[in-house]
Structure 1
Amino acid sequence: MEHVILLDESGNALGHQDKRTVHTASTPLHLAFSCYIFNADDQVLVTRRSPRKLTWPGVWTNSVCGHPQESEPMVAAVSRRAAYELGLALDEVRLLLPRFRYRAEWSGVVENEMCPVFTASVSAEPRPRPDEVDAVRWMAWPAFLREATAAGSSYSPWCQLQATLLAQLGPDRRAWPAAPSAALPPAGHALVH
């Protein structure tokens, strides 16, 4: 059974709650992550969420998202979800946006997360789980940025916000500076090692 780590406004852990019960009209603040996965051609993997997902079903978004479990290092959580949802083993997982936070609503269901953003590389093709991911595609980074940040974009709200922030890091993703793990919310920092 998966759970989410509940947070206070400063990012400290308050305990945990069953993932199946946490996303409601009054979702408590909790810890999550997002990752943008690139291939050797510097294309980013974008995914369409399964229509069976509770939040943002059938919506295009970044490569993979999820929630770390208690005592699970953040990088291990990112790697676990990429393997589970996409059948991918990640290389070079790096922290980019340690303090990203958002709140969004879809049909009465709220997402309310401190959601550090990572990047990673792969050398294989994804094998998505249909109950998690409905479709995948590789995109050139500039084309993805144009789509995700355009007015009326159909990407998930967190992906739209993250894309805007990642664009500010510069056009060459290999030159993006890695953020120090100490900059994570305290609950995430405790899960680094």
Structure 2
Amino acid sequence: MTAADGSDIEQVVLVDDAGRALGAVPKATVHTDRTPLHLGFSCYVVDPAGRMLLTTRAAGKTFGGVLTNAFCGHPAPGEPLESAVRRRAAHELGLELGDVRLLLPDFRYRAELRGVVENELCPVLLATGRGAPRPDPSEVCSLEWVSWPGLRDDVLTGRRAVSPWFADQIALLAGANDDPREWPPGDPARLPATLRDAG
């Protein structure tokens, strides 16, 4: 969204439990110790060998310094989910995406770190990357490529710590194929209502 002075102000969509939009607020104001439920997404990126991209969030971000999936973001008001995912991949990782598909359409979580709460309806997607990531250092402080079976087993046994949302997602996907490229798509009818309406 563009403000009257021409500056860009990223908006976050507030939602009810069914994912119906209740309005939008600036992203800079939404994350507090009483963060309202809002729309987000998590995206996994795999390379041609099926390895999964992990990133460590930059120190200045919510949950800064935490190892997590490739990237996360927030759809803008009325923005289709795939458009939001592609936009965020370019911004955060300098990465163009190939195929993008839905994995967990109705994933929801709440997590707290250092007094700041995340509270999201957060569909999970899987994408293929084109070329090498060129991360924005204000978003990502490091990255690595890992095998899904190794990551899954390390997280489930407690050998590796990741973000709370990523840990919950890994538990939900634990029985999936060892090659993420073979994972079946999720049902878009189970997306939050406002994302279904946005197409």
TM over 0.5: yes
Structure 2 residue 175 is matched with structure 1 residue 157: no
Taking the TM superposition and a 5 Å limit, the aligned residue runs for 1:1-193 are: 1-53=9-61, 55-151=62-158, 153-192=160-199
Give the residue type in structure 2 aligned to 1:76.
S
Q: Secondary structure at the match of 1:84?
A: helix
Percent identical:
49
CA deviations on 1:74-130 (whole Å, 9 max, x unpaired) are 001011111100011111100010000000111111000000000000131110000
Larger CA deviation: 73-82 vs 139-148: 139-148
Q: Distance in 1 between matches of 2:153 and 2:198?
A: 34
8 Å CA contact 1:40, 1:123 repeated in 2: no
Distance 2:138 2:156 in 1: 27
- Point out 4+ residue stretches in structure 1 off by more than 6 angstroms: none
- Count, aligned residues: 191
CA drift of 1:169 comes to 2.5
The code of the aligned residue for 1:39 comes to: D
Counterpart CA distance in 2 for 1:153 and 1:140 is 13
**Partners of 1:162 and 1:124 in 2: CA distance:** 26
Unaligned runs of 5+ in 2: 1-8
TM-score (norm 2): 0.92
Note the residue ranges of structure 1 that are not aligned, 5 or more in a row: none
Tell me, in whole angstroms, the C-alpha distance in 2 between the residues paired with 1:190 and 1:153.
38
What per-residue deviation string (whole Å, max 9, x for no partner) do you get for residues 10-68 of structure 1? 11110111100000010000000001000001100000000111x21111000010000
In the alignment, the residues of structure 1 paired with residue 140 and residue 40 of structure 2 have an alpha-carbon distance, to the nearest angstrom, of: 18
Partners in 2 of 1:23 and 1:94 — Cα distance?
28
Alpha-carbon separation, structure 2, partners of 1:46 and 1:157: 14
Q: Is the 8 A contact 2:148 2:179 kept in 1?
A: no
Tell me the TM-score normalised to structure 1 length.
Answer: 0.95
